[in-house]
Amino acid sequence: MDLPAVPAPDAQARRAAVARYTESAVADGALGRLAELGVWLAATRGTCPPPPPARARIVVIAGDHGIAEAGVSMHPAGSTAKQVATLHHTTSPVATLAPEGGATVRAIDVALTAGEPTEAGPYRVRAGSGRIDREDALTEAETTHAVGVGRAIADEEVDAGADLLVPASLGVGATTPAEVIVAALTGTEPVAVVGRGSGIDDNAWMRKAAAVRDALRRTKGHRNDPLTLLRVAGGADIAALTGFCLQAALRRTPVLLDGGVVPLAAAMLAERLAPGAKQWWLLAQRSTDPAAAIAAERLDLEPLVELGIRLGDGTGAAAAIPLIRMAALLLAGAAPA
């Protein structure tokens, strides 16, 4: 994939933010991560002090996965559409928390099995991704298309004025391909990446471990090729999230990663495709699934908070957005000593 070089965040704004704190009446290091967060925001917004995010956007990429047929989730295969339908209900966790940080939520179908493509909108890639323990998730053309879809969505959001982007995910069975990708990129054994995902019991965990093992075998020879990994063992939603993450960096827009294993797996692939993209990312919190911790470590991203949320639908990020707003306000209010 032919991509331009990722621009670095604004070094001058970063230096100005550091100097602002150094010259303030607050003891050096007293604000801890909040000060670090303010410096990062200044650099990614290109100004000091940076304005608090006013148009944060949580973009939930939804898709079904054939591997769900192997019994790797507590939810039935093909039932993601029902979860998507609840996103804008005030009772769903992300919809409840998003307004507190001034965020809005958008759900996009890239690979749900329900409905026809003409009903699903222009971003639909296919109806469900392939069962990765037996077949490829996508064709080569679908992989390229899905990454392009993610990039187009990021462009659309930035052009509409979003000043903080949150890539998020909904997909029954999606943690299984995400764990395969993390294992493939890091050389980790299958049993070390398999988590409880949707809350599965021991029997389902063993089925999931077998599925990850079999899918990982199919990635042999492709582990240094992000696009082929997406084709063989990923899915349309993960490919779209990959494109979304890298395009946000190319568009100089800060990203708050939710911390679920699916967005983190996509972020790993995005960093491989567009080195330096991670400079534009923060990690809100990380899932308790082991693959999420492995991915976060490889990306060198420390979570802002430890909430232990396993959801990848943006709930963890929504809870952390107010911290980013507070960090901006603290930097703006830093008074000379």
Annotate 2-16 with DSSP letters as a single string.
Answer: --PPPPPP-HHHHHH
> Could you tell me where the beta strands, DSSP code E, fall in 212-300?
255-257, 281-283
pLDDT band at 41 (very low <50, low <70, confident <90, very high): very high
pLDDT score at 174: 95
Cα 124-268-106 angle, rounded to 5 deg? 35
Pairing of strands 103-111, 164-170: unpaired
Between CA 88 and CA 69 the distance in angstroms is: 27
- The count of other CB atoms within 10 Å of the CB of residue 82 is 12
What is the pLDDT, as a whole number, of residue 2?
Answer: 86
Q: How far apart are CA 278 and CA 270, in angstroms?
A: 8
pLDDT for position 117: 47
pLDDT at 334: 78
Q: Is the pLDDT of residue 129 over 70?
A: yes
pLDDT at 118 over 50: no
The torsion of the CA quartet 151, 152, 153, 159, rounded to 10 degrees, works out to 110
Q: Which residue has the tokens 């670090």?
A: 36
Lowest mean pLDDT across 73-82, 175-184, 257-266, 267-276: 73-82
Helix axes 290-299, 261-273, angle to 10 degrees: 30
pLDDT at 96 over 50: yes
> Using CA atoms, how far apart are residues 266 and 174, in angstroms rounded to an integer?
11
**Region 250-278: what's the mean pLDDT?**
96
Mean pLDDT, residues 264-286 taken together? 97
What CA–CA distance (Å, rounded) separates 158 from 247?
10
Average pLDDT, the chain: 92
Q: What pTM value is reported for the model?
A: 0.94
pLDDT at position 91 is 73
The upper half-sphere exposure of residue 99, i.e. CA atoms within 13 Å in the direction of its Cβ, equals: 7
Q: What is the mean pLDDT of residues 272-301?
A: 95
Q: Tell me which residue of 126, 130, 132, 123 sits closest to 112, measured CA to CA.
A: 126
What per-residue confidence (pLDDT) applies to 201? 87
Fold of 57-320: Rossmann fold (3.40.50)
Q: How far apart are the first and last CA of the chain?
A: 50
C-beta neighbour count of 191 within 10 angstroms: 13
Scanning the chain, the segments in alpha helix (DSSP H) are 11-22, 32-45, 80-85, 93-97, 117-120, 140-159, 175-186, 190-193, 202-218, 226-233, 236-250, 261-273, 290-299, 315-333
Q: Hey, how many other C-beta atoms are within 10 angstroms of the C-beta on 308?
A: 11
Helix (H, G, I), strand (E, B) or coil at 110: strand
DSSP letter for 312, please: -
Tell me the C-alpha distance between 286 and 188, whole Å.
18
Ranges 17-26, 96-105, 205-214, 221-230: which has the least confidence = 17-26
What stretches of 222-322 adopt beta strand conformation (E)?
255-257, 281-283
Around Cβ 294, how many Cβ atoms within 10 Å?
A: 23
